[in-house]
A = this chain, B = another copy of it.
Amino acid sequence: MSHTLGIRQAQKQKTRQALLDAALALLEEQSLSSLGLREVTRAVGVAPTAFYRHFRSTADLGVALVEEALGSLHPMIRTTVSTTGDREERVTRTIDLIARHVDGYPAHVRFIARERHGGVQPVREAIREQLARFAQEVKDELAKDPVSEGWSEDDLLMLAHLYVDQMLSTASLFLEALEGPEEERPERTRQVAQLAARQMRLIGLGRHHWLD
């Protein structure tokens, strides 16, 4: 299916990935709008001009990072929302999955949270687009649930957006716990999980009584 890349293309993609990785690391302590192109190439150990072989600008690199951070997340969303089991079990399962993701890709989560309202318009738009896709997918899954019978399309999308925002907010809180002092980490993580669980439970309750 996929044609094996030549030595040339492989090497190119390798440095491209190195640029993305270095940028993501540098973005832990600043925003994209202050990220310099030379800063990134210096971190990779490559000439500044090499940057242009891969990206037009740092904004362009940012859009690529959005793709990397959110693009591969769609299947996970789908399977999570449509997971079977007890109501309470589904809540804890979802939160646990978010916690795991934050743990595995903290820099990606921070990048999205930071640049969602950040100073670089094309990046904001890219994130908005991806999140809109998420909301759409969540809506599709919600629609399958018998609880959603009689719901209008608008209301389903409204609920989906609420869930997506909730997930992002929770992810951000997990990240804060992760960045705090190590000895407080387990306790803070537990608190965040508890808070998120209660909020999801409350939203779930509102969902069940929506058509009263």
Contacts and interface: CB of A to CB of B under 8 A. Distances in A.
A3 interface: no
Contact of A209 (B155, B165, B209): B209
Given A206-B203, A206-B204, A206-B205, A161 B31 contact: no
Interface string A159-172: 10110010001001
Contacts of A50: none
A205 B209 CA distance: 7
Interface in A174-196: 194-195
Interface in A11-69: 27, 29-34
Contact of A202 (B29, B114, B118, B206): B206
Interface residues of A, number: 38
Which 9 A-B residue pairs are closest in the complex by CB-CB distance?
Answer: A34-B34, A206-B206, A31-B31, A202-B206, A31-B119, A205-B206, A30-B119, A113-B117, A33-B34
